[in-house]
Structure 1
Amino acid sequence: MQYINPIEILDLLEFSDASTINSEVVKKAKRKLHAEIDLSDSGFFEYYGLLLTKSDCDRVIDELANRDFTEFYLYLLSNKMLNTFLVNGDSKVFKNFKQDSIFNLSEFKAFISHYFAEKFDKALLSAFENGNEIELKAILNTSSLIAQKDINLAYKSISSILQSRILEIDEITKDLKNGNSGYVEDNIHETVSLVKTYFSAHLLHYLPEYFQSQILKVANSINFLSNAIWDTFDTTQVSTDLTEYLLTLDISGLDRPTFERNFEIISKRNLEKIEQLKNAPYLKKWSDILTLLGKYDNKIEDKSLSSASVYEKISKLFSVGELNSLSAFADDTRTQIAYSIRGISISMWNKHNDIKNAIASIKIALQIDVSSVDKRKFNEDLLNLQNLEKKHKGILVCYFCDVNNPDDNSAILKTIYKETYRSYIPRKVEFSYNTVTIPRCKSCKEVHSKGSNQFSIYFFAFLVLGVIVGAITEESHFILGGIIGGVIGWVIGTMVQSNSVEKHGIKDGSNSSLKNHPILSERMKQGWTFSKPSA
């Protein structure tokens, strides 16, 4: 509906009192106006660039029958800037807008509201699109002239353009999710500028409560775009910038904590990525180590390397202290390396039954700084392995050196006996016997064999020497000489054999040592012996 001031078109400018503008004055001025229109070449009355017909003029002239309206039109005639704004939307009125007392009249507000709201809407849109904060604020300061019934009209254009821009951003998000977006890694950062241009936080800040739900839609739209970019591209900076920007909007209620949590997650990951790029050379080094650990695990699996040699390699492969000293950018790397070593430990046990190196390896993994959840898992692994070691002591690890894995071809076969019945008249004995396999490593077998050979050499050498010495005596006591030589040979051979074993730091293979073996110790207590019972 177009605003027209009837007093102005009737040329009643000399009147200042509504009571003097009676029906006769109006009729006379109206006839004059009609005559002017009839005599014009166009058949219209020109009013601020508008071409008015007789019916246009008559419609507003009839309103002068209402004394209040006449008062209001007279006031507007005196407020030239406001009157002009209502006609053609000239925004100069906002530069020095005065809040007159008449604005407090509900009747005046009801009278002017619709006309004002129409022009207010256009002026507000212009200031918003031009990014003119000062003008936008000035225009909004005049919103008291808008009645509640005209609020939608006053904010129609701003609301419409915001909705249009939201839909455009949502379309970008949709295209990203569907994989048919025109944005690529090299230009996706342009979405940040687009969002800031479309939804200026400074301008939105001035908008009234009426726009709160729409601003929340803006925030959600930006958030969805940020998530789509996060899922689609390798960059984390764009998502960080978008989420950080949406938090500058006036958002309240339950949604803001969600956006804040998203920002914490995204910004943390972004900082980690920045740190990773900065520390790329370090990551390359640890990536190579991780690859090497994977190869070692494969060699454990296919048994192309022994578990002992692999443990030796990983124990010298890197410095745990150096790995732990790296900042948060290396958290993932630390976790991956720790789990890789854990995998090696598991393979050592599953494929090689090597409990000792499996435990030693998991202990390396436990030295690495990982999350409490991962640390707890590694400790559970260690406890399980230690329980297995305790349960199978002397079987899974060589009893004699307590270091190496037992070798199938190096085991000691030992027959043990247990008397089950004995009688003296007649002399008779019954017994049970059992051949027990005592696990032993190849290295200990070699030491034991060498010691046994040395014992035999010394024993027989002194035995022969004793026989010879005894034979050349006057009474040819070769038997006595042999006994004495054998005793001396046995003592010296035993000492040499014992010295050989002690030199290598292992237990000897004698019966006195074997009786303490976990496999035999309990049986020894039950009466089993190494000696075969005789009647």
Structure 2
Amino acid sequence: MVYINPIEILELNDIEVQDIDSSLVKKAKRRLFADIDLSDYGHYEYHGQSLTKSDCERAIEELEDKEKVEFYSHLASNLELNSFLANGNSGLLNNLKQESIYKLTTFVNFISPFFASKIDIVLLKSFQNNDFPLFSSALRAENLISKENLNRAYKSLSNEIQHRIGETDKLTKEIKEEISDYTDEDIEDVIEIIEKRFPTEYLNKLPVFFQSQINKIAASINRLQLSIWNEFNTTYAPVKLLEHLLKLNIESVSKPTFEKNYSIVKKEHEERIEQEKNAPLLKEWARILISIQEKVKEVENETLKAVEALRFVKSVFDLKTLNDLPQFANEIRTLIGYSIRSMSIASWNKQNDIKNSLALIDYALKINVNQSAKEKFIQDQTELQELQKKYEGALVCHFCGTNPPDKGCEINTTIYKETSRSWSPRSSVQYTYSEITIPRCKSCREVHLNGSDNYNIAFYGLLILGVIIGAVLEGVNFIIGGIIGAVAGRIVGKIIEGNPVKKAGIKDSSDSTLATHPLLIERIKSGWTFSKPTA
């Protein structure tokens, strides 16, 4: 909107308001137009503007309103305000004085459209050029802007802020999609960009008109720090961005979230600083961790006995020293605890050593691990203690109840359990199976094998004998003789097979005996069998 003071262009500045009438205006107008006609370019130069006769005509028509005559007359004598309205000369703002006429609503409404247009330009340029004194002065002149013209006064600055929010959100999107040009080495450059893009000193000066945008700025910076937190190996940039965000005058329901995020990120950042400071110490404990993990593999490969693994763990580090390390060692403590847990699991799964498996998990529980890990270790301990009670008998040969089991003498069997059965369109059965290894001592293995050999010898020997008898005896068929011999062989074989077992006090290796073994008894009760289910 172009401001032209008709009093000024008609050169009626020194005339009292009450003396300015239509005849005086017409006379001054003829003189003005004559000057325009005689000028080289046919224009009137006014505060850097080239006015045509039409421009001047429209301005002079304003003097038909007596109230406006008074306002224009005052402005003609208020050179700084008049100049600002005409060309935006900021001299007024640097030394703005409060005058009684500024309290007159009709006067403010009169100059507000022109004043707002010029303030709009000043706010934008002073914000872009980092001219804080001029920016502050422009905001202090808000009382010369009517409510109806606030949008006009703040439009350009609002658009600039919105553009900067958009640029920030664009960067956030690029980081999330891993298409940004930033790396771990230079991501911290974002801090300076955001601090310059959203200077808190300027933004906190803004009136309530900008409150919504300030809240949006905070939300935008928060989204950016989250993307950096997730995608880059740094806590410095997120914590600095959140510090900058919280310097803003935020009035949003999201403010507690921003404060909570800052608390979390700051804690993590401080822990990292502590870790970097104690890097040499952490390096030594990392070496210990790796050595324990290597021993886990040896236990799994059965090249290291569980008892030796336990001895190694107790010797490779001092438990009190580990637990006394500051908070920065929380992660390494937990990792060592989990490695010992893995060793405990391997000791049981691979070596059936329940005693040392329990001892290892007990040792892991002495380490100051986090709550989640501690709960897991306690659960493992409970399960191992139950297994120890349940399978104590498995540590002694089940068949003689005296000797410890010997490697290579086990009984391997398969058990089955029906899982589902259907009758239509045809009968079918689904089942699961499990390969079971029953420990056994060497002596019981020999007894079981010898009993089977005696049975075979008796059975086939008496079968042949029966055939011979059938051949010799008159009136007795060969086949009948063979059957008699076979029956006798089975009876005698059982007697021969059974006698050594009973004589030695050893249980046989039949399915019914295996079903009472501690490793199987509960599973047999729950429906497992030695026979494969059929449809």
Separation (CA, whole Å) in 2 of partners of 1:16 and 1:186: 72
Indicate how the Cα distance of structure 1 residues 186 and 84 shifts in structure 2: closer, same or farther if over 3 A, else same: same
Separation (CA, whole Å) in 2 of partners of 1:397 and 1:66: 118
Separation (CA, whole Å) in 2 of partners of 1:436 and 1:256: 78
Separation (CA, whole Å) in 2 of partners of 1:405 and 1:343: 26
Q: CA deviation at 1:138?
A: 1.9
Separation (CA, whole Å) in 2 of partners of 1:365 and 1:144: 72
What SS is found at the alignment partner of 2:505? strand
What SS is found at the alignment partner of 1:155? helix
Contact 1:356 1:397 in 2 (8 A): no
Separation (CA, whole Å) in 2 of partners of 1:154 and 1:326: 60
Q: CA deviation at 1:130?
A: 2.7
How do 1:3-18 and structure 2 match up within 5 A?
3-17=3-17
Aligned equivalent of 2:116? 117
Q: CA deviation at 1:397?
A: 7.8
Unaligned runs of 5+ in 2: 410-439, 448-501, 508-517, 519-535
Aligned equivalent of 1:486? none
Indicate how the Cα distance of structure 1 residues 22 and 397 shifts in structure 2: closer, same or farther if over 3 A, else same: farther
Aligned equivalent of 1:183? 182
Separation (CA, whole Å) in 2 of partners of 1:349 and 1:323: 26
Residue type of the partner of 1:230?
A: W
Aligned equivalent of 2:321? 322
2:63 matches 1:64: yes
What SS is found at the alignment partner of 1:142? helix
**Greater Cα radius of gyration, structure 1 or 2:** 1
Separation (CA, whole Å) in 2 of partners of 1:7 and 1:367: 93
State the Cα deviation string for residues 288-335 of structure 1 (Å, max 9, x = none): 222222222222212111111111111111112111122222111111
Separation (CA, whole Å) in 2 of partners of 1:436 and 1:104: 115
Contact 1:355 1:396 in 2 (8 A): no
Indicate how the Cα distance of structure 1 residues 24 and 394 shifts in structure 2: closer, same or farther if over 3 A, else same: same
Q: Aligned Cα RMSD in Å?
A: 2.6
Unaligned runs of 5+ in 1: 416-431, 438-518, 520-535
Indicate how the Cα distance of structure 1 residues 101 and 382 shifts in structure 2: closer, same or farther if over 3 A, else same: same
Separation (CA, whole Å) in 1 of partners of 2:126 and 2:294: 66
Aligned equivalent of 2:364? 365
Aligned equivalent of 1:435? 505
How do 1:56-205 and structure 2 match up within 5 A?
56-205=55-204
Q: CA deviation at 1:24?
A: 1.0
Residue type of the partner of 1:102?
A: I
Separation (CA, whole Å) in 2 of partners of 1:398 and 1:61: 120
When the two structures are superposed, what TM-score results if normalisation uses the length of structure 2? Answer: 0.74
What SS is found at the alignment partner of 1:270? helix
Residue type of the partner of 1:4?
A: I
Residue type of the partner of 2:92?
A: V
State the Cα deviation string for residues 70-108 of structure 1 (Å, max 9, x = none): 111112122211111101111111122122222222211
Separation (CA, whole Å) in 2 of partners of 1:291 and 1:38: 96
Aligned equivalent of 2:522? none
Percent identity, please: 44
How do 1:86-485 and structure 2 match up within 5 A?
86-393=85-392, 395-396=394-395, 407=406, 435-436=505-506
Separation (CA, whole Å) in 1 of partners of 2:201 and 2:195: 10
Contact 1:354 1:405 in 2 (8 A): no
State the Cα deviation string for residues 391-421 of structure 1 (Å, max 9, x = none): 344544899xxxx986557959799xxxxxx
Contact 1:354 1:397 in 2 (8 A): no
What SS is found at the alignment partner of 1:51? strand
What SS is found at the alignment partner of 2:384? helix
Separation (CA, whole Å) in 2 of partners of 1:57 and 1:397: 117
When the two structures are superposed, what TM-score results if normalisation uses the length of structure 1? Answer: 0.74
Q: How many residues align?
A: 419
Residue type of the partner of 1:12?
A: L
Indicate how the Cα distance of structure 1 residues 162 and 350 shifts in structure 2: closer, same or farther if over 3 A, else same: same
Contact 2:404 2:441 in 1 (8 A): no
